[in-house]
Structure 1
Amino acid sequence: MSLVLDALDVFYGDAQALDGVTLTVPQGSIVAIIGANGAGKSTLIHTIAGIEKPRRGQIRYRGTEIGGWPSHKVCNLGIGQVAEGRQIFPSLTVAENLQMGAMLPRARSKEKATLEEIYALFPRLAERRDQLAGTMSGGEQQMLAIGRCLMGHPELIMFDEPSLGLAPAIVQEVFRIIKLLHQRGMTIVLVEQNVAVSLKLADHAYVLENGRIVMDGSGEALLHDDRVRQAYLGL
């Protein structure tokens, strides 16, 4: 297994955001986390990333317990994140944003080769390398956010609502990139508002409600589950 969460509890003050969450993310798989707004999906991502600290439970990555580690240490272990809302540096150029992604010790020696790979993957970023990131479209900024994450040379990437606020054509491109990264061997955790697409992509999926895992199965199985279809697909 690549990533294992065991009985994870997370609180914001006295309010419990995650309650006994247990899940596994096998190496090389796509695992989707679905649920309504406020279910705890982003909290789950933030806790794995080291932004939030669990009160109880374990987070193990390739056998190493990482629960409560600072985020920079989690990143340097090989876990990347493409955050909700993109969170690029608007006053820096495209190239400078990408350079920021390569500041991790694990990534520095590979920076030049990785940058060439990202420009090949996202030709628009190569064309606009000297443009201020804040002046680009939302879709271009999302590509930059993905590229910056890849500059850190991750082995597992967590996508938090990657299609949010994007035009349909750009959404298709984002999912194409996610599929391509998976085909190249990347392990992916996907939190995505488009539940149907998420389940079609996923090898396995978990349903999160009020901070608890209430159902899991293959993406295909949940896509055809009546409870999931009624709750999340409006069918």
Structure 2
Amino acid sequence: MLRIEDIDVFYGDAQALDGVSLEVPEGAIVAIVGANGAGKTSLIRTIAGMHRPARGRILYRGADIAGWPSHKVCNLGVGQVAEGRQVFPTLSVAENLAMGAMLPRARAGREQRLESIYAMFPVLAERRAQAAGTLSGGEQQMLAIGRCLMGAPELVMFDEPSLGLAPAVVQAVLKTVRDLNRDGLTCVLVEQNVAVSLKLASHAYVLENGRVTLSGTGEALLGDDRVRRAYLGL
């Protein structure tokens, strides 16, 4: 569904990604793990059209979308739940969700999607008139996921969805990712909780200093001594 081929990304003279290649099969959860500053968010933003790679290809269903503007990438069916949630704080819950449905691809079926999101996250239905900035961190993360789903994506990139959340809320958010995948959504998961993300993922990649240094099934990487020492403290 998504294939990254040898992409390089720079911020000025600083190289953020160096020859990164990976594949995301349709229907899979693919995890991308690594330390802070490894290039994970740069990769997500580049796929989403927020950064232009200096070299390489980004193939989505066979079309090279490298360098496309982000609104065109979204309208192809590539969604993003950004790090830090990025809700519109002064807009209501309902208005935030409506913003997610502004893509041309999302106009048909908008009301049905809205009802399914309210069924998935009942607290959002209860607080639909409340300003998004007054929600708890967990509720804002639910809203960010719901807003992304309003765009009718076929692939969603989750960038650190558990960051800053209480442990019980983290479990609920990651369960949502698993449930969405079971319903047919292809997922890319960038997550600080390495053990949980590798358990969820069918395949995973380790990024270090902008390069892919390891890849394999989630289960295989979970048992890899290098991963266990570097990220699991074992």
Which bin holds the TM-score, normalised by the shorter protein?
over 0.9
Residue aligned with 2:16, SS = strand
Letter in 2 for 1:69: W
What is the aligned partner in structure 1 of residue 76 from structure 2?
77
Deviation sequence 1:85-117 (CA, Å, 0-9, x none)? 000000000000000000000001111111011
Question: 1:164-189, CA deviations, whole angstroms, 9 ceiling, x for partnerless residues?
Answer: 00011110100110000000010000
> Is residue 2:167 matched to residue 1:168?
yes
User: Aligned-residue CA RMSD in angstroms?
Assistant: 0.4
Q: Which amino acid counterpart does residue 84 of structure 2 have in structure 1? A: G
**Alignment of 1:152 onto 2:151:** yes
- Name the SS for the 2:156 alignment partner: strand
The Cα offsets for residues 21-75 of structure 1, whole Å up to 9 and x where unpaired, read as 0100000000000000000000000000000110000000000110000000000
User: Any stretches of 5+ residues in structure 2 without a counterpart?
Assistant: none
Aligned to 1:48: 47
Corresponding residue of 1:224: 223
Give secondary structure in 2 for the equivalent of 1:52. Answer: coil
Aligned counterparts, 1:7-86, within 5 A: 7-86=6-85
The alignment of Structure 1 onto Structure 2 pairs a total of residues equal to 234
The alignment partner of 2:6 has SS state of: strand
With structure 1 as the length reference, what TM-score do the two structures score?
Answer: 0.99
SS of the equivalent of 2:188 reads strand
Deviation at 1:3, TM superposition (A): 0.1
1:128 corresponds to 2:145: no
Moved over 6 A (4+): none
Deviations 1:122-143 (A, max 9, x none): 1000010000100110000000
Tell me the distance in 2 between the aligned counterparts of 1:190 and 1:38. 16
Match of 2:190 in 1: 191
What residue identity is the alignment partner of 2:194? V
Give the TM-score, by structure 2 length: 0.99
2 CA distance for matches of 1:172 and 1:11?
Answer: 35
Q: What 5-or-longer segments of structure 1 have no aligned partner?
A: none
Give secondary structure in 2 for the equivalent of 1:6. strand
- Who is 1:87 aligned against? 86
- 2: distance between equivalents of 1:207 and 1:106? 33
Q: In 2, Cα distance between the equivalents of 1:79 and 1:49?
A: 7
Q: Is 2:103 the partner of 1:104?
A: yes
Q: What secondary structure sits across from 2:32 in the alignment?
A: strand
Deviations 1:176-211 (A, max 9, x none): 100000000100000000000000000000000000
- The separation in 2 between residues aligned to 1:218 and 1:29, in whole angstroms, is 11
> How far 1:10 moved relative to its partner?
0.4
